[in-house]
Amino acid sequence: MVQGSRQWHEKLPFALLGYRTTGHTSTGETPYLLVYGTEAVIPAEVEIPSLRVIVEAEIDDDEWVKTRLEYLNLIEEKRLTSVCHGQLYQRRMARAYNKKVRPRNFEVGQLVLRRILPHQVEAKGKFSPNWQGPFVVKKMLPNGALYLTDIEGKMAEMAINADAVKRYYVSSGMGSRILGWGYRIRVEDGLGVLRLLVLSWIIVVHCLGVAIEEEGGDKWAGSV
Per-residue pLDDT of the chain (224 residues; tens, 9 = 90+): 556 677 788 888 888 988 999 988 888 889 988 888 888 888 887 777 777 777 777 778 888 788 878 888 888 888 888 889 989 999 999 899 888 877 778 888 888 888 887 766 665 667 777 888 788 888 888 777 888 888 777 887 788 888 888 888 876 543 333 333 333 334 444 445 555 666 677 777 666 765 666 565 444 444 44
My answer on whether 94 and 132 are in the same domain is no
My answer on whether 140 and 73 are in the same domain is no
Domain CATH for 139:
2.30.30.140
Asked if residue 105 belongs to a domain, the reply is: no
How high is the pLDDT of residue 121?
Answer: 64
With contact defined as beta carbons under 8 Å apart, do 150 and 157 qualify?
no
**Does pTM surpass 0.85?**
no
**155 pairs with which residues across the strands?**
149
Question: Number of structural domains, the chain?
Answer: 3
User: In terms of residue numbers, what domain contains 20?
Assistant: 5-100
Supply the DSSP symbol for 164.
G
With contact defined as beta carbons under 8 Å apart, do 122 and 116 qualify?
yes
Alpha-carbon Rg for the chain in angstroms = 35
My answer on whether 29 and 85 are in the same domain is yes
> Which backbone phi and psi does 114 adopt, to 5 degrees?
-110, 135
Asked if residue 203 belongs to a domain, the reply is: yes
Cα-based distances in Å from 94 to 68, 80, 91, 102, 104: 38, 21, 5, 14, 18
Supply the DSSP symbol for 121.
T
Question: Which of these three, 100, 135, 158, is where a domain ends?
Answer: 100
Distance (Å, whole) CA 71 – CA 33:
10
Going by C-alpha positions, the residue among 75, 69, 73 that lies closest to residue 30 is 75
Residue 17's CB is within 10 A of a number of other CB atoms, namely 14
My answer on whether 164 and 208 are in the same domain is no
How high is the pLDDT of residue 181?
Answer: 31
SS3 125: coil
How high is the pLDDT of residue 91?
Answer: 92
With contact defined as beta carbons under 8 Å apart, do 168 and 187 qualify?
yes
Q: Which residues contact 219 (CB under 8 A, 6 or more apart)?
A: none
Strands 160-161 and 165-167: unpaired
Question: Which of these three, 125, 152, 168, is where a domain ends?
Answer: 168
Distance (Å, whole) CA 29 – CA 4:
33
Distance (Å, whole) CA 21 – CA 34:
11
Residue 122's CB is within 10 A of a number of other CB atoms, namely 10
Asked if residue 106 belongs to a domain, the reply is: no
My answer on whether 51 and 131 are in the same domain is no
